[in-house]
A and B are shown apart, each in its own frame.
Chain A
């Protein structure tokens, strides 16, 4: 990890969806963070809190409602057509659903080679050789190139998706829950593959997940999201040892501990109620309705993300 260079920087990013007359769904509301070169930033939160939307807006699959995404200093959302095409060579995404992320009408070879074709990187035999190499890199066989996605299992498909993202040698990859659709036994394989690739190719990851234990394993720093806002950001050890935000504490206490003695005796922080709707949210802290410590100020004012320790940021009035 190179702490002198920020590969991607998100400033006041907002993404609202219009879901009806007068109804605004604030999927992402004012996010600020950056990722260093070679770093993995974990992004966690419950389903529907806006993790995928954040990742997709960062690589301009969605247009931002407001704010900037700076990739190597340039705003992704203000790029010209040519600049954007160049950006697509450097930023890639691995998708959540291995069954929907591969075109069922294309062979695996063509799927992996698509980036090479689009950017005219190489052709003919050289291209095929590259595809075979990629297949072997992700632990598949070269014979698989002529097959179709439906012939593969979920874990194998996810590897194909990884090979596709790697084919154009990107610098930055958004991994959108690459493992949550896989069996637990396969999850570790895929995560270890991602870690290995990062080491070999100096990749920068935004690793999205809702499973905190896997995120801890892969991430250098972890950001916790709640209903479109960031509530806590710290190095992964710091976050796990010393969670400050009541929401982070609740998330962490949901992880079972593989020791029956501790597991039995420890106090769980239970979350009550459901995630409120992100449509036209009321003023104040998004978490107030489910927070045991909520005070008056929490109902009136949205807490700012502020530094409470070295590289430890929290958005909470109580802390």
Chain B
């Protein structure tokens, strides 16, 4: 068959519709929030954590009992007796208020521990990854060496040297906890800094501060946040563990860990003393972990749907 030039006609194309994008514009954070909202476990976790935090902040303010007031006439009361919702302990202190004061301490330890870990981890890992080469080699070998130290031994040692106290406990917990964070940050930075958009910024003459602030940090923040939501329950757990072996925050301060540790001594006769702090610890740990899982899915662009 013979095709002639005349048989063809340029029909052109409508560029205005060709380049249209239908999906609404979303920032990274809007998009992450949209995906997080679709995750029932993560939403449940957020609700539980909000309730726990609100109770921790406000309940001790409005309770008619103080966490240290003793009522020796009413020791070891069962839950519900005379307005003591969770009962009282062996000194007649209201357990309900003690659980929420304990929540303050435990959450404080969890959050400050995680923040310290974050700051040290980002600076150490960031420098290591950004500088690369020999600096990176030396810094990472130091991390490898520190990794060998058993965490528990290090914590106990620190507390024995510095004496018990809230600050010591936080310090002991963060002393080695920043190591995995530093490794994560370094790995992320190494991965991102070879990407072509970073090279493009260098080609445009971007300063180091612009490079770090606009290109590197925003692109590594996702995994860091995820790691953070896992390190808060980690710190709470280690605090409880330290309390159990008698190295937690000193009396009359209470944390979930110390409450559970004292309750455990009277487990057979008065199980409520262990029950309520344990439920609180478990709820918090579970929620943080569920939130972390949800965030990991929501912040990972590879799962973008």
A230 within 8 A of B: no
Most buried by B among A118, A119, A156: A118
Assess whether B205 is in contact with A148, with CB atoms less than 8 Å apart. no
Cα–Cα distance between A113 and B203 once the two chains are bound (Å): 14
A66 within 8 A of B: no
Q: Do A100 and B21 form a contact, CB below 8 Å, given A61-B203, A118-B205?
A: no
The 9 closest A-B pairs by CB, nearest first: A88-B205, A101-B196, A105-B218, A95-B196, A103-B197, A115-B204, A100-B196, A147-B25, A85-B205
A236 within 8 A of B: no
Assess whether B301 is in contact with A150, with CB atoms less than 8 Å apart. yes
Interface string of B18-49 (1 = CB under 8 A from A): 01110101111000000000000000000000
Q: Which residues of chain A come closer than 8 Å to B26, judged between CB atoms?
A: 148
Q: Which residues of B contact A (CB under 8 A)?
A: 15-16, 19-21, 23, 25-28, 195-197, 199-207, 210, 214-215, 218-219, 301, 304
Cα–Cα distance between A182 and B291 once the two chains are bound (Å): 39
Most buried by B among A84, A91, A139, A151: A151
A114 nearest CB neighbor, chain B only: B204
Q: Is the interface of B mostly helix, strand, loop or mixed?
A: helix
Assess whether B304 is in contact with A150, with CB atoms less than 8 Å apart. yes
- Select one of A88, A100, A146, A156 contacting B203, CB under 8 A: A88
A100 nearest CB neighbor, chain B only: B196
Q: Do A156 and B206 form a contact, CB below 8 Å, given A105-B218, A164-B200?
A: no
Assess whether A95 is in contact with B215, with CB atoms less than 8 Å apart. no
Q: List 23 A-B contacts (CB under 8 A).
A: A56-B199, A61-B202, A89-B205, A93-B203, A95-B199, A95-B200, A100-B195, A101-B196, A103-B197, A103-B201, A103-B218, A103-B219, A104-B219, A104-B301, A105-B28, A105-B218, A115-B204, A119-B204, A119-B205, A141-B16, A148-B28, A150-B301, A150-B304
Chain A contacts with B in 81-139, Cβ cutoff 8 A: 84-85, 88-89, 91-93, 95-97, 100-106, 114-115, 118-119, 139
Cα–Cα distance between A92 and B214 once the two chains are bound (Å): 20
Cα–Cα distance between A100 and B202 once the two chains are bound (Å): 15
- Select one of A59, A89, A101, A150 contacting B197, CB under 8 A: A101
Cα–Cα distance between A102 and B301 once the two chains are bound (Å): 14
Assess whether B200 is in contact with A141, with CB atoms less than 8 Å apart. no
Cα–Cα distance between A34 and B17 once the two chains are bound (Å): 43
Assess whether B21 is in contact with A151, with CB atoms less than 8 Å apart. yes
A240 within 8 A of B: no
A13 within 8 A of B: no
A152 within 8 A of B: yes
- Select one of A105, A147, A168 contacting B21, CB under 8 A: A147
Assess whether A59 is in contact with B205, with CB atoms less than 8 Å apart. no
Q: Do A106 and B19 form a contact, CB below 8 Å, given A88-B205, A96-B196, A101-B196?
A: no
Q: Which residues of chain A come closer than 8 Å to B27, judged between CB atoms?
A: 148
B20 nearest CB neighbor, chain A only: A141
Q: What is the distance, in angstroms, from A143's C-beta to the closest C-beta of chain B?
A: 9
Q: What is the distance, in angstroms, from A102's C-beta to the closest C-beta of chain B?
A: 6
Q: Which residues of chain A come closer than 8 Å to B202, judged between CB atoms?
A: 61
Cα–Cα distance between A146 and B207 once the two chains are bound (Å): 24
Cα–Cα distance between A102 and B198 once the two chains are bound (Å): 9
Assess whether A93 is in contact with B197, with CB atoms less than 8 Å apart. no
Assess whether B200 is in contact with A101, with CB atoms less than 8 Å apart. yes
Cα–Cα distance between A88 and B196 once the two chains are bound (Å): 16
Assess whether B214 is in contact with A106, with CB atoms less than 8 Å apart. yes
Q: Which residues of chain A come closer than 8 Å to B195, judged between CB atoms?
A: 100-101
Q: Which residues of chain A come closer than 8 Å to B21, judged between CB atoms?
A: 144, 147, 151-152
Assess whether A84 is in contact with B205, with CB atoms less than 8 Å apart. yes
Assess whether B219 is in contact with A92, with CB atoms less than 8 Å apart. no
A56 nearest CB neighbor, chain B only: B199
Chain A contacts with B in 191-209, Cβ cutoff 8 A: none
Cα–Cα distance between A102 and B16 once the two chains are bound (Å): 23
Q: Do A139 and B301 form a contact, CB below 8 Å, given A93-B200, A95-B196?
A: no
Assess whether B203 is in contact with A103, with CB atoms less than 8 Å apart. no
A70 within 8 A of B: no
